[in-house]
Chains A and B, each alone.
Chain A
Amino acid sequence: MAAAGEGEGAGAFTCVSSKRSRQKRRAAVAMDTAEPRPSKRPSFPPVAAEALGAGKSEIRKVPVPANRYTPLKENWMKIFTPIVEHLQLQIRFNLKTRNVEIRTCQETKDLSALTKAADFVKAFILGFQVEDALALIRLDDLFLESFEVTDVKPLKGDHLSRAIGRIAGKGGKTKFTIENVTRTRIVLADAKIHILGSFQNIKMARTAICNLILGSPPSKVYGNIRAVASRAAERF
């Protein structure tokens, strides 16, 4: 803009292009040399880890509650191995802060690996099995949803306990049934519920659990999820 002003001030009107446009043109030229320009959508190759971040390593910290301390210790190797070997990240457990810290390093190729690793650890900390949590690393489109029983319906005391009991079922069979039918994993931690799975399946499981909380008998819930699941299966 300043350049433009100068140009005008000089008297003779010369068309001065702004910096931005010049840069765009340069980029376009570079792109042209690299590959033939696509007609509609511009394609950008994935940015190298070094380009972004500018050399600094990122850290993610996952706090560990006391009750999960022992399982973490027992399953450390199983956690540690895929993160370091497959994702090329650095991981440690900070004893003072009781956090699991994950850090990128020079070998890290994929930036999204960090988030994946963080999610994986988080899932384990919430209560999921390592093998189930491992699916988070392997598959892109798995998610983690958490909600509370009181979110669905404001229950107190005995009612709350009964609702939780309904969700679990006798020996956990209701929970297992839902898991099997919807291909998800459910963690029932007192009043909190965590569901791990793909988006559609999470939805199915959530609906089932909400029905149970609201009071429908498990047989009814079975019927519903069965119907829904069969329809979903037919579609694929």
Chain B
Amino acid sequence: MAAVKRLETCLRVAGAAGARPERFLSVQDDLAADFRTLTKALYDMNKALGSKKVRGGPLKELVIENFDDEQIWQQLELQNNTVLDFFKKSIARDAKDEDLCLLADQEEDSSDAGTSTDHELEDNIVEVETDQKSVYTKDRTKAKEKQSKREENIQKCSDEDSDIDFDIEALEQQTKTTKETTLKKKWRKSIVDDKFFKLAEMEMFLEHAEKENKEEEEEDINYFEDIISDDEDEESEEAKVKPVKSSRDLTYKDFFDPIDDNEDLVAQDVEDDQEDEADSAIEEQNEESISDIEDMNETMENTRGKDASKKVTFSLPDDSETEDITEMPLEKDVGPSEIKSSFEKRQEKMSKKIKSLEEELLEEKPWQLKGEVTGQKRPENSLLEETVLFDHAVRMAPVITEETTFQLEDIIKQRILDEAWDDVVPKEKPKEEAFEYKKRIILDHEKSKLSLAEIYEQEYIKLHQQKTEEEENPEHKEIQEMMDSLFLKLDALCNFHFTPKPPVPEVKIVSNLPAISMEEVAPVAVSDAALLAPEEIKEKNKAGDVKTDAEKTRTDKKRERRKKKLRKRMKLREKEKRQKLLEKKQPEQGTTLSKKAAAAKLKKLTKEGKATLLKDEGKDKVLKSSQAFFSQLQDQVKMQIKDATKLKKKQKQQKALSVHKLKL
């Protein structure tokens, strides 16, 4: 009784503390102290009243005075670890025990279970506290700050409860119905579905996950929950996780759906699963799956013209196979009974290929193959995507890349170092030397003294002379010389009265120069020929003779005039150019010049009559005396009268003329 009272007080304190949760946003020292005392009370109570089976930690009471939070936690941990081990073992033992059944009331919905079972649990807690189920209280006390973990536990319990709370009979009824009914479409089909992915499956899975993570909602109806039909209910059950096997016992069939060929194996697996399951709910699942498989077998036997392809699916729903059958018409109808021979397959391929080729040929060709295509006939910017080949008739300009620029720069640098400039060499007009001028053909204006025959004769001789000279072999010369010297010596030795030969000049001078040039070399005589001819001093006029004014013909005079005018024109142009340059470079000097130019312009304009100069007639002058004023006035008037009379006279004259004409 005392314990009960104490518990009640503890509850009250906890309730008070948790009543206003907004306080927890900030650190509440007094509340923390309350909680600590509460913890100690519970711990001591437990230790005092705890059963002998459950062996907790060594500490008999929780010490909190002058203890850090961390230290209190460590004390609790000591107690909890030992207790947890014990409970794990006991639970494992109890789970294996088939006689145990924790079924209570039937739940409507697994999703709603959370809310309802919460109450149940609380009830349980209150009812059974000295029982072995004090595990739950311990859980509660430990995990006060860890709300989510506690919820998880509750959820798990609720799930298991919901599993356990199934009515077996109801399930059996359902399985019967499913046996008889033909296979229906159980999943909502969507566009995204394919071999591996089913949208409806995903949705179910996500909802399931959400439920697990969802926060506690007490007594609120979840408006977003689907009210699913009986079938879906079953499937949702099926969607749940299969009983936990130890990792060593997991096999292929746990991950993947059975392959169509191995239906027997599937049946076998199903039976194995059946044996493994402890809960009737799971049994029921298997029954259903078996039934499904049996149905499938029937359908498979009935409708054999369908899929023979092997499929790998995940083991979530068993209806994946059934789904395949319903989706059959999308795939090709290849009867599994007709196994095609390799030849047939090849023939098929060939025919396919031929067909495709024929289609290609009959189709309209793409614009690339249409020969000459203008811009209108092809799509916009289509050439950009094409690689076009061009014949380059002209050598293309070199592409300037970084490398080329570097190369050029290197060359430039090297040239600078070598000082090998490519300066333009100024061309010089070749000046003819007098010698060369004389060598040119001289025009003889007289009748030639030699006859034609003699001229040719001379030419012929010249040619042949040269030939004969060249023909002399230098070796022969050498030999001759050597022999001469030898014989001379021998003669000198042999003869008593030896008279040596007179010395012969060995050097043979053959010069082809004209006689006049030969004479020039000698400085003895001064000849006119040495002087330059007048043409050498001054180049002769193209026309030939220099003429005086009297001798000049009309054409000559005109020619000279034209030349003169041309020269003047060129000079003027050059002058203008220079002036422009000056103006550009030195504007100050330019202004002075422009003044001159302006004066010149003025003169020109006045002459042409385009502008008239305003003459200063002295009207602005201040007239000091009245006499001056009146004299000026008189002068003005006189002038005006004169002009007027002149005009009149002119007019009269003109009139007279016209009258004269009219009379005629």
Chain A residues near B (Cβ < 8 Å):
129, 131-132, 134-135, 138-139, 142, 172-174, 176-177, 179-181, 183-185, 196-197, 217-220, 222, 226, 229-230, 233
Contact = CB atoms under 8 A, between A and B. Distances in A.
Contacts of A222: 443
Given A135-B451, A176-B444, 13 more contacts: A131-B453, A138-B457, A176-B446, A176-B447, A179-B447, A180-B443, A183-B456, A218-B544, A219-B542, A219-B544, A222-B443, A226-B440, A233-B441
Contact of B446 (A134, A173, A219, A226): A173
A173 B453 CA distance: 21
Contacts of B310: none
Contacts of A233: 441
Contacts of B99: none
Contacts, number: 62
- B443, B444, B543: most-surrounded residue (chain A CB, <10 A): B443
A222 B540 CA distance: 13
Contacts of B443: 177, 180-181, 222, 226
Contacts of A139: 453, 456
A229 B452 CA distance: 17
- B445, B448, B452: most-surrounded residue (chain A CB, <10 A): B452
Given A217-B544, A219-B542, A134 B445 contact: no
24 contacts: A131-B452, A132-B453, A134-B451, A134-B453, A135-B452, A138-B457, A139-B456, A142-B456, A173-B445, A176-B444, A176-B446, A177-B444, A177-B445, A179-B447, A180-B443, A183-B456, A184-B452, A185-B452, A197-B452, A217-B543, A219-B542, A220-B542, A222-B443, A230-B440
Nearest to A176: B447
A25 B58 CA distance: 148
Interface string B530-544: 000000000000111
A138 B456 contact: yes
Contacts of B441: 181, 226, 229-230, 233
B406 to A, nearest CB: 51
A233 B463 CA distance: 13
A132 B452 CA distance: 5
Contact of A176 (B440, B445, B454, B457): B445
Interface string B503-522: 00000000000000000000
Nearest to A138: B453
B141 to A, nearest CB: 132
Nearest to B455: A183
A5 to B, nearest CB: 61
Contacts of B453: 131-132, 134-135, 138-139
A134 B446 CA distance: 21
- B445, B454, B456: most-surrounded residue (chain A CB, <10 A): B445
Contacts of A196: 452
Contacts of A176: 444-448
A148 to B, nearest CB: 23
A164 B411 CA distance: 68
A142 B443 CA distance: 23
Nearest to A183: B455
B543 A219 contact: yes
Contacts of B452: 131-132, 135, 142, 183-185, 196-197
Contacts of B444: 176-177, 180
Q: Interface extent on B, as a size class? A: 10 to 19
B11 to A, nearest CB: 138
Contacts of A229: 441
- A138, A180, A184, A230: most-surrounded residue (chain B CB, <10 A): A180
Contact of A131 (B447, B454, B542): B454
A177 to B, nearest CB: 5
Nearest to A172: B447
A83 B445 CA distance: 33
- A129, A135, A222, A229: most-surrounded residue (chain B CB, <10 A): A135
A218 B544 CA distance: 9
Interface in B64-122: none
B574 to A, nearest CB: 32
A233 B442 CA distance: 13
Contacts of B451: 129, 131-132, 134-135
Given A131-B453, A132-B453, A219-B544, A179 B440 contact: no
A173 B443 CA distance: 10
Interface string B619-649: 0000000000000000000000000000000
B443 to A, nearest CB: 5
Contacts of B447: 172, 176, 179
Nearest to B544: A219
Contacts of A179: 447-448
A138 B455 CA distance: 12
Interface in B280-335: none
Contacts of B445: 173-174, 176-177
A59 B66 CA distance: 169
Nearest to A226: B441
Contacts of A183: 452, 455-456
Contacts of B446: 173, 176
| Ranked 8 nearest A-B pairs via Cβ | A131-B451, A135-B453, A219-B544, A173-B445, A132-B452, A135-B452, A180-B444, A134-B453
A220 B540 CA distance: 12
Nearest to A171: B445
Nearest to B446: A176
B90 to A, nearest CB: 129
B456 A135 contact: yes
A132 B451 CA distance: 5
Nearest to A196: B452
Contacts of A220: 542
B84 to A, nearest CB: 125
A216 B530 CA distance: 34
Nearest to A236: B463
Contacts of A218: 544
Nearest to B463: A236
A175 to B, nearest CB: 9
Nearest to A219: B544
Nearest to B454: A131
A219 B543 CA distance: 7
Nearest to B443: A177
Nearest to A175: B447
Contacts of A217: 543-544
A188 to B, nearest CB: 13
B437 to A, nearest CB: 12
A2 B457 CA distance: 60
Contacts of B543: 217, 219
Interface in B224-270: none
A78 to B, nearest CB: 11
B542 to A, nearest CB: 7
A174 B444 CA distance: 9
Interface string B425-454: 000000000000000110111111001111
- B444, B448, B451, B544: most-surrounded residue (chain A CB, <10 A): B451
B514 to A, nearest CB: 14
Nearest to A141: B456
Contacts of B454: 131
A177 B442 CA distance: 10
Nearest to A198: B456
A173 B456 CA distance: 22
A142 B457 CA distance: 13
B34 to A, nearest CB: 134
A64 to B, nearest CB: 22
Interface in B449-473: 451-457
A92 to B, nearest CB: 24
Nearest to A173: B445
Interface in B542-564: 542-544
Nearest to B459: A183
- B441, B454, B543: most-surrounded residue (chain A CB, <10 A): B441
B53 to A, nearest CB: 137
A180 B456 contact: no
Nearest to B448: A180
